[in-house]
Amino acid sequence: MSFDSLGLRPEILKAIKETGYTEPTPIQSSSIPQVLEGRDLIGIAQTGTGKTAAFTLPMLEKLIHHDGQRKGRGTRALVLSPTRELVVQIEENVKTYAKHIPVKVATVYGGVGENPQKKALRSGVELIIATPGRLMDLMGQGCTNFSECEFFVLDEADRMLDMGFLPNVRKIVSSLPKKRQTLLFSATLSKEIEKLTREFQHSPKFVEIGKRSNPADTVEQFLYEVTKSQKIGLLKHLLGNNDLYSVLVFTRTKYGADRVAKQLGKSGIQTGAIHSNRTQNQRTRALNDFKDGKIRVLVATDIAARGIDVEGITHVVNLDFPPTPEDYIHRIGRTGRAKSEGVAISFVTEEDRNPLRTLERFMKKSIIRRRAKGFVFDQQAFAATDRKHKTPRGIKPKDGSGFKRQKKRFSSPSKRRNFRRN
């Protein structure tokens, strides 16, 4: 299938050609015609599938009149996304594809001053791309008017739920006209997501993208067994290989991200870090330096990394193993974007055995184990943590500490995830 047969106007097709895309990705060819027909849509799409263009292209088509003129000064479309980076990335997509049509867009997200955003909203924009929290603030100050909004996109709906944004999303949706077109994208389809679609959508069309774009199938993946104390040493060792040219490293916590960035920096490896404790300016600078190749390694936490779409990331390193298979898929999807190749390396400690098993079952394949050449693997230390971990159930440590207390604190996987989440 070619872009020409999707029903998009010549000005948009011209912009697509200029980006160098030759054919639509599966989610684009299956969803664009449906959206142009006016249908609501649920897109179950993982990262790296081209889903941003899948909703941006038909949305732009609908934002202007048949004769190519602006429809008026009111806001006609709203895109909600969970992170600031993702908002910026969607805006970049919009600007690329809207190069030859007159569409005004405003972005709204926290961590930066409100005034420029307020000014942009007041100037009359057709499209608002926003994170829910800041949008609620600005709506409360009367900066928006959604009475003419006819198109609503909820992007990364599963993340929105995870991050506790649902109450804000509900309030925002309740201020939109009932008669509108709603698209909902999510990496996974859960009961909660189904409930949301019933709440927000009207007989939606269901589009699930095929395996081809699943990074779990296309990215080369392997793992190293390590102890916690060996992780940074192994990372430095691997970075001795220049094939690791543009590397995204994931840590579980923001403190961990800072620590790793500092340690790599001390070894002369240009490194940046992004996480939610950094100001928006720091995050933007680190991301731009990474995109421009000024820094070789970017260390990130899951939430901060949601919107990262950097071409040419050669390697993703899970310094800390991801808590859920979905997180793993999102992380490794940062490399091997579109049609390029990528490598995902995971460090696995004894404590990660269960999440690893869950992941391998989820992907229906096992990840190749490797030993790093020239790196002295501390088998004894690994075995020691192994033994410690295998303390027989029912034996209570004398001081009342240890696994019993740990078990109580994380009585469910979601509590454990929330505890670790930043």
What would the two tokens of residue 298 be? 């970017």
Following CA atoms 237, 344, 361, 354 in sequence, which dihedral angle do they give, to the nearest 10 degrees?
40
Smallest distance from ligand AMP to CB 81, Å: 11
Which residues from 254-313 bind ligand AMP, rule CB under 6 A?
A: 309
Nearer to ligand AMP, 234 or 308 (CB): 308
Nearer to ligand AMP, 25 or 75 (CB): 25
Part of the chain binding ligand AMP (CB under 6 A), chosen from 23-31, 130-138, 163-171, 410-418? 23-31
Which position among 26, 48, 82, 323 is part of the footprint of ligand AMP (CB under 6 A)? 48
What would the two tokens of residue 34 be? 């449906």
Which position among 39, 51, 84, 283 is part of the footprint of ligand AMP (CB under 6 A)? 51
Binding to ligand AMP by residue 79, rule CB under 6 A?
no
Part of the chain binding ligand AMP (CB under 6 A), chosen from 41-49, 285-293, 348-356, 358-366? 41-49
Part of the chain binding ligand AMP (CB under 6 A), chosen from 20-28, 221-229, 252-260, 409-417? 20-28
Part of the chain binding ligand AMP (CB under 6 A), chosen from 48-56, 108-116, 289-297, 389-397? 48-56
Following CA atoms 92, 93, 99, 102 in sequence, which dihedral angle do they give, to the nearest 10 degrees?
-90
Smallest distance from ligand AMP to CB 221, Å: 19
Nearer to ligand AMP, 10 or 413 (CB): 10
Which residues from 333-372 bind ligand AMP, rule CB under 6 A?
A: 337-338
Nearer to ligand AMP, 86 or 264 (CB): 86
Number of residues located near ligand AMP, criterion CB under 6 A: 14
Smallest distance from ligand AMP to CB 129, Å: 14
Residue 156 contacts residue 185 (beta carbons within 8 Å): yes
Distance between CA atoms of 21 and 96, rounded to whole angstroms? 12
Nearer to ligand AMP, 50 or 323 (CB): 50
Nearer to ligand AMP, 144 or 335 (CB): 335
Which residues from 231-250 bind ligand AMP, rule CB under 6 A?
A: none
Binding to ligand AMP by residue 47, rule CB under 6 A?
yes
Binding to ligand AMP by residue 24, rule CB under 6 A?
yes
Nearer to ligand AMP, 51 or 134 (CB): 51
Residue 299 contacts residue 232 (beta carbons within 8 Å): no
Which position among 43, 50, 215, 342 is part of the footprint of ligand AMP (CB under 6 A)? 50
Smallest distance from ligand AMP to CB 12, Å: 13
Q: Which residues here bind ligand AMP, judged by CB under 6 A?
A: 21, 24-25, 28, 47-53, 309, 337-338
